Structure 1
Amino acid sequence: MRIFNHSNFMTFTLLGIPGLESQHMWLSIPFSSMFLTILIGNGAILFLVATEPTLHTPMYLLLALLMVVDLISALALLPKILCLFWFNDRDIAPNACFTQMFFIHGASVVRSALLVAMAFDRFVAVCEPLRYNTILSHSLVGRLGLLALMKGVILILPMPLLLQKLTFCHMVIPHTYCDHMAVVKMACGHTKPNRIYGLFVILLVVGLDLLLIGFSYGLILQAVVRLNSRDATFKALNTCSAHIFVILVTYIPALFSSLTHRIGHNIPPHAHILLANLYLILPSMLNPIIYGIKMKEIRDKVFKCLFRGAT
């Protein structure tokens, strides 16, 4: 068996979606449509927040940060997948592979941290509405965004660094992108530290972040129960609805993909790979749609821009 390390061979080879190689051109249609939707949707939200002074509030600033992360995730993931589908461009240099891995997984960690910050924003909006602007100042929003970024860098940077120390028995990765576990499985020898660290990151990010989000919404639910007015209760719940939908879109596909990857041994390989793609793509695609539908301010600004453009 020939053994390689990241410095003595030219490239990894991405296989794509195992078992569906002949369908790659057809699969490029929904993937390119999702990519276009991500670019337009997230770009539109960012443009509105940047150009409308009335949207320069903590909630929309956090939303803008989320849109930036969604764009980074999509740009790290989808261009290489589309090149693979369209041009059969399967090769990726080791350093490029590790860089893609860092940005894809790092964006997922930052996205999760921002959802925690947005849960705190909703808690203050419902439970402390009179002190909202005092508690959630622009400087605090900036610090929350910086903490989310630092969390992503600190937790994910060890992954490619640990991989660079490994030797590899295989160069063909049965995946559409450089997923951490997919690359670890190509390595020979002792990969237990890599596997343990990957599981640690998943448990820390998903477990801790969901715990903090659940705690925030527990306090919000207590405050809503104490409201005497049905209209006030509906308004409070509606304030949180977009964020709740985004949480469901982000965590449910990720948890399902993680579980099937570890215990779903009877699931076909192409199903694993499609799930691994969708859990990254769906949040970036659906987040601007959810916020556009659920938040009146964004709907009004979109209609205003459309009608102004039409005239």
Structure 2
Amino acid sequence: MSEIYLPEKLVHGQVEKDLHPYHRRVSTSFCVAFTLNEPTPMNTGNKYKDNLDACLTAVSWVEDHFCEYESIGIGLNDPNHNRIVKTLTIYMDRGGYIVSGQYHELNFNMHSVEDNLPKKLTVKSNYQRKFKRDSEENLLHKEIFIDKVFNLEGMLELKINTQSDFYKLLQTVSIYNRSMDMSFVYSIAQEKQIEWEQFKKVIAVVSIPVMIEGYAWVKALQTGITLINYLCTADNVMKLSDKLFDFRGPVVISDVFTNYFTNMNFDPQRDIIPEPKIEDGGSDLRNTELKKLSALNDFLEIQTIVGNEIKKIKEPNI
């Protein structure tokens, strides 16, 4: 079994060597939150335990790496790209306590079959690791927030990078769930709906203009809702607004980070595989709701554990 590497942004003292043997790489990362109902063992008295259907808040760090092999020596039916997708997901209860978590890594070989035909995907590896601790006495919560370590099954203990966006967002969501009367995800969705209601008052009945400065998220909605056609009556807008917001998520709660890496002296035939260097100006800092939606949709095209959990929210079984 090959060694598994967590994203370097999230832990100290580990290098993602699985991302080195490529000529070029485009890496996209972001944090997504959503809620789900999951049977959770809970104490209901000194002698009894029960399985209750608990509402959990999931916070997941997603990294999607599109890795390009060197073109020389690659045959028509040989893989010329890899796609490596990594997710680290933490589940919290309504009190903000961490009750479980898991790491999932999916690696695809991508083959160019023929010109003008879609690429063929072959699963190269598919690994899942759960956290060792369970929810009893909040041991997992203590490990992550007090000891600041990740302990995954079959892996060495990893020291958390407490300066990472993911860790800071975990703290934010935990504190919010613990101190407020609603979940963090519901609150974010409600905040956007309040903005929408305020916006409807501003436009006062008439129509939605093509360009709206100061309401970037509305621009994103416009591109996906063709039935608005930028000409809505107040009644039509009112009917639509209830469908625009899913209060269970998913919500991208961080910026979307896109970086481009190149191995300048890459020579696999001579076994020269140095550490990739980020390209100058490679970090794309432009963030809009449309970019977040696009990154999330690209991720949901792949059959990951987190993606399937999100799809159950978006397309519930009736």
Establish whether TM, by shorter chain, passes 0.5.
no
Q: Which has the higher contact order (CA 8 A, sep 6+)?
A: 1
Instruction: Tell me the TM-score normalized by structure 2.
Output: 0.23
Instruction: Tell me the TM-score normalized by structure 1.
Output: 0.23
Q: Which has the higher strand share?
A: 2
Higher Cα radius of gyration = 2
